[in-house]
Structure 1
Amino acid sequence: MKTIVVTGGTSGIGQALAYTYLGRGDQVVVLGPDPAKGRTFLDAARKAGAGDRAFFIEADLSLVSENQRVIGEIGARFAAVDALVLCARYFRSFRAVTSEGFEHNFALYYLSRYLLGYGLAGLMDKADAPVIMNIAGPGAGAAGIRWDDLGLERGYDGWQAMFQGGRLNDLLGVAFAEGGGGHRARYVLLFPGGTRTGFAGDFDPATAAYVDQMKQAAQPVELAIPPIAAIIDSPPREPLSAFVEGMPLSLLRPAFDKGAAARLDGVTRELLRDRLGIS
């Protein structure tokens, strides 16, 4: 029996993956901020006869402190983690800052994935074939990163924040694979294609209309699950892999530049140390 941890697991792709693995007999830990959605997940699991294998941890993953708490709770409850699936993100048309001083998209879409990946790596070392599945948009390139303004204080745009988050996650994958402390987990960056999910967010009217159009043209979430599950079930041999709509991407692209990845890793560690005293 595998242990699967899913962020953003109460809706969309994350939820569908959670139910898929419960149906296979595995145990699934879902992380999310909404207790009502968490109860819905647990109730559905009980009705399906999988209540003893379904777990929900309420957490606001835009906060570093909450990520740290979640890592501790998972470590105290489970002997190993086979797969960490990172789906959580939240679009904001208007800039918001967390109580810890980080721009919200940067905190949720990047910092949380950074913290959970490294924080659970030790537990994943104890699994047979561990994998971190980062659902993002790999391969776009590192040119759009605002190195001197990662929090987008100057000229914030919701789409720019989302695209930058995807680029940061590319570099996160590279850094983990290159220098993840010798950890065994394979890192996979994946974009499943346009998918009809909840696409949670706080939208201005123009963006809300555009998102509705995107949903109408997107594939049903059920179609996105089999290729993702296939990779989780049989992770690639390489430390880092990237896929877009089922097709592997070359890691020779600028998006996966090792120098930029090392730079981001250093900046991230410095930010966490300077603002929150985390080394």
Structure 2
Amino acid sequence: MKTVVITGGTDGMGAALARHYLREGNQVVVVGRSRAKFEALLASLAADGVAATGRASFLAADLSLVAESERVVEQIRASHERIDVLVLAASFIRQKRHETAEGHEASWVLFFVSKYILLTGLASLLADSDRPTVVNTSVPGAKAGAIDFDDLESAQRFSFVRSNAQQRRANELLGILVTSDNPALAYITWGPRRLVRTSLAGDVGRAMKIASVLLGAVAGQRPDDAIAPIITFVADPPAGRAAYRGATQVALVQGPHDTDDARRLAAETTALVTGR
């Protein structure tokens, strides 16, 4: 039996993965904002004859807050001795810059800083697995120079496109850090090949919401179909870092200063976390 931790596990692809691994008889920790959605997930499994009681647990958290990510780490470390699979799939789309009660830019914390906290905080539990695997649902392929180290939280200038590219590149560099510390770790940066039908959780304009619903209905794939490649990768994880769009492997973006950039990113993120 594997121990699987899934952030964003109450909706969309995260929920589809939680259902899959619970059906397989694994132990699954779901991190999300809605206990009601978690209970609905368990109810849907029970209706199919799958008893997940004792194998499924829920941690309520808003991962756009540093303190919440740290609390999740503490709770998982207190209740588990090993993690075999960590899926980082939490999402909340914001078209505009939003500052949290902690004074940090919400999207930067949710889509990168929380992942850094979880990966570094849970590193010892992943190290105790025979085949530790991390699936980071951050679409690969951002340019090597996408990160502005002088404006990581987009305080000086913000655009949705720029913010998104910076988060994606940071998550690729995060893979350098964690696989250097644990060479046995499989770190997969993954994005769906095409649109996925989801509820598009976030603070977005009406036009974007409508467009997402219409496009999803016409051309989107079901979450259960979209996650099929992830299930395959986890069953036989590739060594080290890898990047995929759907089931197709894509080249990792190589920058001239990747190792130095990864270390600088770690230092800046540690300063953000400790200095909040």
Partner of 1:72: 74
Distance verdict in 2 for CA 1:141–1:256, change over 3 Å? farther
Distance verdict in 2 for CA 1:167–1:213, change over 3 Å? farther
CA distance in 1, matches of 2:221, 2:45: 25
Moved over 6 A (4+): none
SS of 2:151's partner is: coil
Q: Normalising to structure 1: TM-score of the pair?
A: 0.90
Decide whether the 8 Å contact of 2:5 with 2:30 is kept in 1. yes
Superposition deviation, residue 229 in structure 1: 0.8
Decide whether the 8 Å contact of 2:191 with 2:246 is kept in 1. yes
Distance verdict in 2 for CA 1:116–1:68, change over 3 Å? same
CA distance in 1, matches of 2:6, 2:166: 22
Q: Deviations over 1:126-166 (max 9, x none)?
A: 11211111011112213232221111123322333223211
Partner of 2:130: 128
Residues 129-148 of structure 1 correspond to what in structure 2 (within 5 A)? 129-148=131-150
SS of 1:254's partner is: coil
Residues 90-105 of structure 1 correspond to what in structure 2 (within 5 A)? 90-105=92-107
Distance verdict in 2 for CA 1:167–1:210, change over 3 Å? farther
SS of 1:51's partner is: coil
Superposition deviation, residue 81 in structure 1: 0.8
CA distance in 1, matches of 2:131, 2:3: 11
Partner of 1:205: 206
Distance verdict in 2 for CA 1:183–1:40, change over 3 Å? farther
SS of 2:153's partner is: coil
Decide whether the 8 Å contact of 2:91 with 2:111 is kept in 1. yes
SS of 1:210's partner is: helix
Residue type of the alignment partner of 2:7: T
SS of 1:159's partner is: helix
Residues 38-77 of structure 1 correspond to what in structure 2 (within 5 A)? 38-47=38-47, 48-77=50-79
Superposition deviation, residue 252 in structure 1: 5.4
SS of 1:219's partner is: coil
CA distance in 2, matches of 1:35, 1:252: 38
Q: Aligned pair count?
A: 272
Decide whether the 8 Å contact of 1:8 with 1:31 is kept in 2. yes
Gaps of 5+ in 2: none
Partner of 2:264: 263
Moved more, 194-203 or 81-90: 194-203
Partner of 2:157: 155
Superposition deviation, residue 256 in structure 1: 8.8
CA distance in 1, matches of 2:6, 2:246: 20
SS of 1:212's partner is: helix
Identity of paired residues, percent? Answer: 36
CA distance in 2, matches of 1:200, 1:252: 29
Decide whether the 8 Å contact of 2:192 with 2:246 is kept in 1. yes
CA distance in 2, matches of 1:165, 1:206: 24
Superposition deviation, residue 35 in structure 1: 2.3
Decide whether the 8 Å contact of 2:143 with 2:253 is kept in 1. no
SS of 2:102's partner is: coil
Gaps of 5+ in 1: none
Decide whether the 8 Å contact of 2:31 with 2:58 is kept in 1. yes
